[in-house]
Amino acid sequence: NAGVTQTPKFQVLKTGQSMTLQCAQDMNHNSMYWYRQDPGMGLRLIYYSASEGTTDKGEVPNGYNVSRLNKREFSLRLESAAPSQTSVYFCASGLGHTDTQYFGPGTRLTVL
């Protein structure tokens, strides 16, 4: 079991460029999540998907879109990157809302 995998590991973008962060899990989990982690701010939820076919906004959704492609995959898209989106992005998955979330290794994104 690979658990939760994320690609890419590192990315540098220029302001206004777009990109998609990929996440996949092989634990047959129903729910998947995207977080960003900034110094002093802790983990903040961007979007989540309670089950295949559904997505909902989290705490900081502005500037992002998501797609739950199938049960395994949940992608995060930045349509027009801004320097404020420089962060470390983590994907997580879990069985359901009362269960542990398991995290991927993260994507370190810098927007110049």
Partner 1 sequence: GESVGLHLPTLSVQEGDNSIINCAYSNSASDYFIWYKQESGKGPQFIIDIRSNMDKRQGQRVTVLLNKTVKHLSLQIAATQPGDSAVYFCAENSGGSNYKLTFGKGTLLTVNP
Applying CB under 8 A, among 34, 48, 64, 74 the residue interacting with partner 1 is 48
Q: Which of 79, 100, 110, 112 lies at the binding interface for partner 1 (CB under 8 A)?
A: 100
Q: Identity (one letter) of the amino acid at 66? A: V
Residue 58 near partner 1 by CB under 8 A? yes
Listed ranges 15-23, 53-61, 65-73, 74-82: which one lies at the site for partner 1 (CB under 8 A): 53-61
User: If 0-12 CB within 10 Å is exposed, 13-18 middle and 19+ buried, where does residue 95 land?
Assistant: middle
* Choice from 24, 34, 46, 104 touching partner 1 (CB under 8 A): 104
Distances in Å between the Cα of 35 and the Cα atoms of 3, 52, 71, 79 are 17, 18, 18, 17
Q: Which of 18, 27, 79, 97 binds partner 1 (CB under 8 A)?
A: 97
| DSSP codes joined into one string, 39-53 | TTTEEEEEEEESSTT
Retrieve residue 27's tokens: 């634990």
Give the footprint of partner 1 on this chain (CB under 8 A): 4, 31, 33, 39-43, 45, 48, 50, 56, 58-59, 90, 96-106
